[in-house]
Amino acid sequence: MLEKQLKRQKRKQRVKATISNSSKHRLSVYRSNVFIYAQIIDDKTGNIICSSSDLKIKWKLTKTESWKKVGEDIAKKALEKNVLEVVFDRNWFSYHGRVKSLADAAREFWLKF
């Protein structure tokens, strides 16, 4: 189990190293076994600008559909706060499946990565 955690930490450090030099806000995604969470973070001040999750979304949707809803919601909230460009922080999750559907839905609502 320790080896799995170390590999996960290394992947997260690699992703963080590529995006930490950016002057843009960061769209961070976290996925648990049941729910998903997305936040837009200002790294200069350490404040969360807006956040969204699928805690309040109806359970009749599939997981991929609920991720799309969260992507749409976070993009709408970001546009209300005048955040137009972000850097996508996928943490250690691979850019595939549900993570990709969230990113694509956010792009459809004019959020630029």
- The answer to whether the pTM exceeds 0.85 is no
Query: Could you tell me if residue 113 is inside a domain?
Result: no
pLDDT tens, residue by residue, 4-34: 889 888 888 887 777 766 788 989 999 888 8
Residue 58 within any structural domain of the chain:
yes
Query: Within a domain: residue 65?
Result: yes
Q: Identify the CATH number of the domain in which residue 102 sits.
A: 3.30.420.100
In the predicted model, what is the mean pLDDT of the chain? 88
Residue 21: predicted pLDDT: 67
Distance CA 45, CA 48 (A): 9
Q: How many folded domains does the chain comprise?
A: 1
Which of 104, 106, 100 lies closest to 74 in space, CA to CA? 106
pLDDT for position 19 = 73
**How does pLDDT run across 78-102, given as a tens digit for each residue?**
999 999 999 998 888 888 888 999 9
What's residue 44's pLDDT? 84
Q: Is residue 54 part of a domain?
A: yes
Does residue 13 fall inside a structural domain? yes
Q: Which helix (H) or strand (E) holds 5?
A: helix 2-19
Query: Residue 23 domain-assigned?
Result: yes
> What percent of the chain has pLDDT above 70?
96
| Structural domain that includes position 30 | 2-108
